[in-house]
Amino acid sequence: MHTRMCSFRWHSLLVLSLASATVFAQDQTAPVNFDASVKPIFAERCVSCHGAEKQKAGLRLDLPECITAGGEDGPVITSGKPDDSALYKRVTLPAGHEDIMPPKGDPLTKEQTDLIRLWIEQGATFAAVPASEPAPAPAPESAPAPAPEPAPAPETTPSQPAPVSVLDELEKTVQPASQEALDAIRSTGALAMPLDMKSPLVQVNFRIVGANIADDQLAALDGIKDQVTWLNLAETKITDAGLAKLASLPNLTSLHLEKTGITDAGLEHLKGLQHLEYLNLYATKVTDAGLAQLEGLKNLKSLYLWQSSVTPEGAEKLKQCIAGLNVNLGVAVKADPKPEPDANLAKLAPFFDAESCCAKAFASAKACDHDCCKEAAAKGEVCAKCNPGAEAKKKVAALFDAESCCAKALATGNACGHDCCKEASAKGEVCLKCNPGAAEKQKAQTDAAQPAPPETAPPAEAPAAPAPAPEQPAQQPGEGPAPPAAPPAADAIPAKQTLTFNHDIRPILSDNCFRCHGPDRNARKANLRLDLREYAIADHGDETVIVPGNSSRSELVRRIMSDDPDLMMPPPSSEKQLSPAQREKLAKWIDEGATYEPHWAYIAPTHPEPPSVSNDTWIRNPIDRFILAKLDPAGLTPSPEADRRTLIRRLSFDLLGLPPKPEDVDAFIADTSPNAYENLVETLLASPHFGERMAVDWLDLVRYADTNGYHGDEFREVYAYRDYVINAFNQNKPFDQFTIEQLAGDLLPNATLEQKIASGYNRLNQLTAEGGAQPKEYIAKYAADRVRTTSSVWLASTMGCAECHDHKFDPFTMKDFYSLSAFFADIKEEPVYTAGGPWTPTLPLPTPEQSAELNRLDAHIASLKTALDTPTPELAVAQDAWEKDVLARIAAEKNDWLPLFPDRATAEHGTTLGAANDATITATGENPAQETYTLSFHTSQQGITGLRLEVFTDSSLPNGGLGRGNGNFVLTGFEVVASSNAAPDPASVAIGAAQADFE
pLDDT score at 150: 38
Q: Please say if the pLDDT value at position 390 is more than 50.
A: yes
The end-to-end CA distance of the chain, in Å, is 51
Between 488 and 69, the more confident residue is 69
Give the contacts of 957 (CB within 8 A, at least 6 positions apart). 963, 964, 967
Q: What tens digit of pLDDT does each residue of 89-115 get?
A: 888 888 877 788 898 888 888 888 988
Q: Please say if the pLDDT value at position 413 is more than 80.
A: no
CB 182 within 8 A of CB 192: yes
CA distances from 435 to 128, 438, 448, 483 (A): 55, 6, 21, 20
Q: What tens digit of pLDDT does each residue of 118-130 get?
A: 888 888 888 654 4
The model carries a pTM of 0.42
d(C-alpha 559, C-alpha 210), whole Å: 20
Task: Answer yes or no: do 190 and 272 share one domain.
Answer: yes
pLDDT score at 447: 61
pLDDT score at 869: 85
Instruction: Please check whether residue 984 lies inside any domain of the structure.
Output: yes
**Of 328, 355, 385, which residue is a domain's last?**
328
Name the phi and psi angles at 303, rounded to 5: -135, 120
pLDDT score at 162: 41
pLDDT score at 815: 93
Q: What is the residue-wise DSSP string for 192-259? A: EEESSTT-S-EEEE-TTTGGG--GGGGGGGGGGTTTEEEEE-TTS---TTGGGGGGG-TT--EEE-TT
The region of weakest confidence among 33-47, 115-129, 481-495, 618-632 is 481-495
Q: Please say if the pLDDT value at position 27 is more than 80.
A: no
Give the contacts of 586 (CB within 8 A, at least 6 positions apart). 505, 508, 551, 556, 557, 560, 578
d(C-alpha 967, C-alpha 986), whole Å: 35
d(C-alpha 764, C-alpha 824), whole Å: 13
Cα 938-942-945 angle, rounded to 5 deg: 95
Name the phi and psi angles at 261, rounded to 5: -90, 20
The rounded percent of the chain whose pLDDT value lies above 70 is 85
Q: What tens digit of pLDDT does each residue of 850-864 get?
A: 999 999 999 999 999
d(C-alpha 318, C-alpha 328), whole Å: 12
Task: Answer yes or no: do 818 and 714 share one domain.
Answer: yes
Tell me which range, 73-77, 677-681, 877-881, is most confidently predicted by mean pLDDT.
677-681
Which among 801, 334, 389 has a CA at the least distance from the CA of 551?
Answer: 334
Sign of CA dihedral 934, 938, 939, 942: positive
Instruction: Please check whether residue 734 lies inside any domain of the structure.
Output: yes
11 alpha carbon, distance to own chain's centre: 41
Task: Answer yes or no: do 51 and 81 share one domain.
Answer: yes
d(C-alpha 761, C-alpha 740), whole Å: 11
465 band by pLDDT with thresholds 50, 70 and 90: very low
**Of 260, 295, 328, which residue is a domain's last?**
328
CB 280 within 8 A of CB 256: yes
Q: Is 969 left (phi over 0), alpha (psi -120 to 50) or beta?
A: beta
Q: Please say if the pLDDT value at position 709 is more than 50.
A: yes
Q: What tens digit of pLDDT does each residue of 50-59 get?
A: 887 777 877 8
b/e 751-778 (16+ beta carbons within 10 angstroms → b): beeebbbbbbbbbbbebbbeeeeeeeeb
Q: What tens digit of pLDDT does each residue of 806-823 get?
A: 887 788 889 999 999 999
Tell me which range, 564-578, 633-647, 716-730, 767-781, is most confidently predicted by mean pLDDT.
716-730
Residue type, 444: A
Q: Please say if the pLDDT value at position 388 is more than 60.
A: yes
**Secondary structure of 114-132 in the HEC alphabet?**
HHHHHHHHCCCCCCCCCCC
pLDDT score at 283: 85
Helix, strand or coil, per DSSP, at residue 854: helix
Task: Answer yes or no: do 707 and 770 share one domain.
Answer: yes
Q: What tens digit of pLDDT does each residue of 660-690 get?
A: 999 999 999 999 999 999 999 999 999 999 9
Instruction: Please check whether residue 493 lies inside any domain of the structure.
Output: no
Domain holding 295: CATH number?
Answer: 3.80.10.10
Instruction: Please check whether residue 270 lies inside any domain of the structure.
Output: yes
245 band by pLDDT with thresholds 50, 70 and 90: confident
d(C-alpha 675, C-alpha 682), whole Å: 11
Task: Answer yes or no: do 116 and 198 share one domain.
Answer: no
Tell me which range, 124-138, 252-266, 400-414, is most confidently predicted by mean pLDDT.
252-266
Determine if the peptide bond prior to 102 is cis (ω within 30°). yes
Q: Please say if the pLDDT value at position 29 is more than 60.
A: no
d(C-alpha 52, C-alpha 207), whole Å: 13
d(C-alpha 304, C-alpha 310), whole Å: 10
Long-range contacts made by residues 966-974, C-beta under 8 angstroms, separation at least 24?
A: 971/996, 972/930, 974/949
d(C-alpha 330, C-alpha 562), whole Å: 8
Q: Please say if the pLDDT value at position 518 is more than 60.
A: yes
The DSSP element (H or E) to which 936 belongs, if any, is: strand 933-936
d(C-alpha 638, C-alpha 947), whole Å: 98
Q: What is the residue-wise DSSP string for 712-737? A: T--B---HHHHHHHHHHHHTT--HHH
Q: Please say if the pLDDT value at position 135 is more than 70.
A: no
Instruction: Please check whether residue 574 lies inside any domain of the structure.
Output: yes
Cα 595-598-602 angle, rounded to 5 deg: 165
CB 789 within 8 A of CB 730: no
Q: Please say if the pLDDT value at position 533 is more than 60.
A: yes
Structural domain containing residue 222: 168-328
Q: Please say if the pLDDT value at position 335 is more than 60.
A: no
Beta-strand pair 254-256/228-232: parallel
Task: Answer yes or no: do 207 and 295 share one domain.
Answer: yes
Question: 409, exposed or middle or buried, with CB in 10 Å at 0-12, 13-18, 19+?
Answer: buried
Helix, strand or coil, per DSSP, at residue 624: helix
d(C-alpha 944, C-alpha 942), whole Å: 6
Q: Looking at residue 862, what DSSP letter applies?
A: H
Task: Answer yes or no: do 273 and 371 share one domain.
Answer: no
Task: Answer yes or no: do 366 and 294 share one domain.
Answer: no
Task: Answer yes or no: do 549 and 579 share one domain.
Answer: yes
d(C-alpha 988, C-alpha 975), whole Å: 8
Instruction: Please check whether residue 63 lies inside any domain of the structure.
Output: yes
Task: Answer yes or no: do 634 and 783 share one domain.
Answer: no
Mean pLDDT of the chain: 81
Cα 444-450-456 angle, rounded to 5 deg: 130
**Of 75, 98, 126, which residue is a domain's last?**
126
Task: Answer yes or no: do 549 and 534 share one domain.
Answer: yes
Q: What is the residue-wise DSSP string for 939-991? A: ----S-----------TTSGGG-SSSBTTB--------EE--SS--S-EE---
Residue type, 931: E
Task: Answer yes or no: do 592 and 614 share one domain.
Answer: no
pLDDT score at 430: 81
Give the contacts of 423 (CB within 8 A, at least 6 positions apart). 431
Beta-strand pair 921-925/911-915: antiparallel
Find the mean pLDDT for residues 950-973: 87
- The tally of domains found in the chain comes to 8
Q: Please say if the pLDDT value at position 61 is more than 50.
A: yes
pLDDT score at 467: 39
Name the phi and psi angles at 707, rounded to 5: -130, 165
The rounded percent of the chain whose pLDDT value lies above 90 is 31
Instruction: Please check whether residue 451 lies inside any domain of the structure.
Output: no
d(C-alpha 201, C-alpha 231), whole Å: 11
Strand partners, 921: 915
d(C-alpha 339, C-alpha 331), whole Å: 17
Instruction: Please check whether residue 473 lies inside any domain of the structure.
Output: no
Between 677 and 483, the more confident residue is 677
543 alpha carbon, distance to own chain's centre: 27
Q: Please say if the pLDDT value at position 48 is more than 60.
A: yes
